[in-house]
Amino acid sequence: MQFSRSSLLALIPALVAAETTTVTVGKGGSLTFEPSTAMVPVGGTVEFKFFPMKHSVAQGAFDAPCKPLSADSFWSGGFATSDPAGNATTFSITVKDDKPIYYYCAFPGHCGQGMVGIINPPSDTSMGLEAYIANAMDKDTVASTKVQGGTVNKPGAASSSSAAGNSSSPTSSGSAAPSASGAGGYGSSPPATSSAVAASGASTSGSPVQWGIMVGLSAVGFAFGGLLI
């Protein structure tokens, strides 16, 4: 079977329209999103793929970095993995308009070290990536309270609450998927955090102490267990 050159070319627009832009999060141990800026058409999908150790992605604002844009803005929930190939579970968002989407890593300290990115950055560089990073420097990180605004893509598993207990999971406390109630609830209920703190401190080598302290301070269960594959 042969395709003519023109029939192959005719396929290209469809492929482009269906394109998903993958953004890696913390790949190679760096506190970066890669690519840190990307042009994505309206209706396009951005898929975030998380690398060790612990990261998340939250929508922010250019002039108020390192905190949620709004009560409704997207947040992936916390992702933890020790797999150098990255977490098999990803988080994706759909681009709804052509306005810039500013986002940051909500793991404590990461945004303040410049771990931010922009989808559809403005042509005005005064509101571009360099300026956004400069804004973010040394800012305290504020996580969102709810996993929302996107899709958690768990390979081969529809269940949202049975992933705990995985032997490779540093936080096998049973809080499961990010959509489960209470998961990622920074700043709310103090109980039920000790196991997450202990687990994360005990079995990771990245910056578990810092993470543990953060969890303790904000007194919530930022549940990673369900995201570990």
Query: What is the binding site for Cu ion (CB under 5 A)?
Result: 55, 105, 107, 110, 115
| Distance in Å, CB of 66 to Cu ion, minimum | 11
Q: Can you tell me the distance from the alpha carbon of 52 to that of 100, in angstroms, rounded to the nearest whole number?
A: 27
Nearer to Cu ion, 27 or 110 (CB): 110
Q: Which residue is nearest to Cu ion (CB)?
A: 105
Which run of H or of E encompasses 118?
strand 116-119
Q: Which residues pair with 60 in a beta bridge?
A: 102
Smallest distance, Å, CB 122 to Cu ion? 24
- CA nearest to 214, candidates 114, 78, 100: 78
The two structure tokens encoding residue 4: 């003519």
Closer residue to Cu ion (CB): 9 or 209: 209
Q: Across the chain, how many H-helices and E-strands are there?
A: 4, 11
Q: Of 44 and 133, which CB lies nearer to Cu ion in the complex structure?
A: 133
How far, in Å, CA of 194 to CA of 225, rounded?
A: 14
d(CA 102, CA 58): 9
Nearer to Cu ion, 113 or 148 (CB): 113
In angstroms, give the least distance from the CB of 105 to Cu ion: 3
CB nearer Cu ion, residue 18 or residue 85: 85
Q: Compute the distance between CA of residue 168 and CA of residue 70 in angstroms, rounded to an integer.
A: 34
Kind and range of the H or E run holding 13: helix 5-17
Q: Distance between CA 121 and CA 102 in Å, rounded?
A: 8
In angstroms, give the least distance from the CB of 23 to Cu ion: 12
For the CB of residue 109, give the shortest distance to Cu ion in the complex, in Å.
Answer: 8
